């Protein structure tokens, strides 16, 4: 367990609960009271309003007001806008009791398709408060620990993945260890076959995909393995795809969804990508030249711990974004032969900075310019600037509303960037001595970063006892 401090607030490594009013006093709800200085309309006008404006109309109005506020001023602006609306009179306040309204707003504003709280109103509150925690740097920090039987093994974690409940860590020996995000317990270890050894790092895990029921991971040698995510203890994962290194090169990146797996290869010209049907394991596409300039470095990754030559990510909408230091492309997983975007950078891209969220991707150029693009339309959503010294050793990841970057130079900080406006701004920086970083990932509530150990930062809300 380690402690973490932030420039805006300090935090302890132990989990602490934050009073509701201290974090999100502006979220309306059934308990919201009218303020003394806001008189509202007269009783006669209230009666007229009851007759003229039925509840479905008011609910639709509240819904549209919240969406407009979120679109124009950021997601955190929706709650204050609703608070003002619900203070007009008792009829309008009654709309705040509609859980259907809160479900719709939670799905549209926070992209949450299921709830873990008792009501959708509480789910909305938790999403709002979590976003506020990213904004202010309110967090807890922990170092997940291996089971006693595995602690003696000093292995390097090369790959991370997060879901709503799990942190998955892929290691150089071809194993994936999974931790529970609520308890931080090491709950399962997934093993892969030994196979042929094409170098000391040929079994390194190069990508992990977590779905509701399964975990899928790939190795540098091209093997792909699948198992049930809810397994406890050790499990020998099933090999779904057998890799052919000499024919395809090294599988340097792997990502996917429930329907598709996408692999990025380096080592053989003209075979940068493979796309598989995730249900059958059948290969449906082989081709692409994105990694042709990186063929030599691709082979080096099998024998040396070198910087990643490329990165690939897949959004929920099944758009594939991939980049090397020279070039960035985007295509549909179901139509990989047609490029939707193909750009080069004069200064070069920082490969370890590229990441995707539900609807966007971020990449930082070596000159220190970070840009966020909407994947479907290729619209520029936000732009932010990093100092030159921050780019050396830079890593990046993102979630729905924030980009998180880590740089060891000149001082090791995690920086949180709000990307909901055209001019992105740095909200907070968190001191974190992580060492030589190998991977970094973010989700709705957590961020994880791996080096000689794994740091897990929790921005989530602790439920009241």
Give yes or no for residue 17 having a pLDDT over 80.
Answer: no
User: What confidence category does residue 25 fall into, taking pLDDT thresholds of 50, 70 and 90?
Assistant: very low
Query: Looking at residue 41, what is its pLDDT?
Result: 42
Given a cut of 90, whether residue 43 has pLDDT beyond it is no
- pLDDT per residue over 128-180, tens digit each? 999 999 999 999 999 988 876 665 466 889 999 999 999 999 999 999 999 99
The mean per-residue pLDDT over the stretch 200-207 comes to 94
269-300, pLDDT tens digit by residue?
Answer: 999 999 999 999 999 999 999 999 999 999 99
Please, which residues have CB within 8 angstroms of residue 54's CB and are 6 or more apart in sequence?
A: none
For the cut 90, the answer to whether the pLDDT of residue 122 exceeds it is yes
CB atoms within 10 A of CB 18: 15
């Amino acid at each position: 367990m380690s402690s973490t401090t932030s420039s805006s607030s300090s935090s302890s490594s132990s989990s602490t609960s934050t009073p509701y009013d201290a974090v999100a006093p502006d979220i309306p709800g059934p308990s919201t009271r009218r303020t003394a200085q806001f008189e509202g309309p007269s009783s006669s006008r209230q009666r007229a309003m009851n007759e003229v404006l039925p509840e479905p109309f008011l609910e639709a109005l509240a819904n549209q007001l919240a969406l407009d506020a979120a679109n124009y001023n950021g997601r955190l602006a929706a709650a204050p806008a609703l608070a003002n609306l619900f203070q007009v009179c008792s009829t309008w306040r009654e709309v705040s009791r509609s859980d259907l309204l809160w479900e719709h707003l939670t799905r549209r504003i926070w992209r949450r398709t299921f709830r873990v709280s008792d009501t959708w109103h509480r789910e909305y509150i938790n999403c709002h408060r979590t976003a506020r925690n990213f904004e202010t740097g309110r967090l807890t920090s922990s170092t997940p620990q291996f089971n006693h039987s595995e602690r003696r093994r000093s292995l390097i974690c090369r790959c991370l993945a997060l879901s709503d409940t799990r942190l998955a860590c892929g290691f150089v020996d071809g194993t994936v260890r999974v931790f529970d995000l609520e308890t931080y317990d090491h709950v399962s270890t997934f093993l892969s076959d030994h196979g042929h050894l094409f170098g000391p790092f040929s079994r390194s895990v190069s990508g992990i995909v977590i779905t509701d029921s399964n975990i899928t991971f790939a190795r540098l040698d091209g093997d792909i393995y699948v198992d049930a995510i809810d397994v406890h203890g050790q499990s020998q994962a099933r090999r779904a795809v057998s890799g052919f290194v000499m024919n395809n090169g090294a599988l340097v990146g792997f990502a996917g969804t429930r329907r598709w797996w996408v692999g990025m290869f380096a080592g053989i010209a003209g075979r940068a990508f493979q796309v598989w049907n995730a249900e059958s394991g059948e290969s449906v596409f082989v081709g692409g030249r994105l990694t042709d300039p990186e063929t030599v470095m691709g082979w080096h990754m099998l024998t040396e711990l070198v910087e990643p030559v490329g990165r690939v990510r897949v959004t929920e909408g099944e758009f594939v974004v991939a980049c090397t230091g020279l070039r960035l492309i985007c295509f549909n997983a179901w139509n990989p032969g047609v490029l939707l975007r193909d750009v080069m950078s004069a200064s070069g891209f920082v490969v370890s900075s590229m990441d995707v969220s539900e609807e966007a991707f971020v990449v930082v150029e070596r000159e220190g310019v970070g840009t966020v693009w909407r994947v479907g339309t290729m619209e520029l959503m936000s732009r932010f600037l990093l100092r030159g010294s921050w780019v050396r050793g830079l890593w990046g990841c993102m979630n729905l509303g924030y980009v998180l970057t880590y740089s060891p130079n000149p001082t090791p900080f995690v920086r949180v960037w709000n990307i909901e406006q055209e001019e992105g701004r740095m909200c907070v920086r968190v001191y974190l001595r992580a060492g030589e970083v190998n991977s970094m990932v973010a989700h709705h509530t957590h961020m994880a970063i791996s080096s000689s150990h794994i740091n897990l930062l929790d921005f989530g809300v602790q439920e009241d006892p």
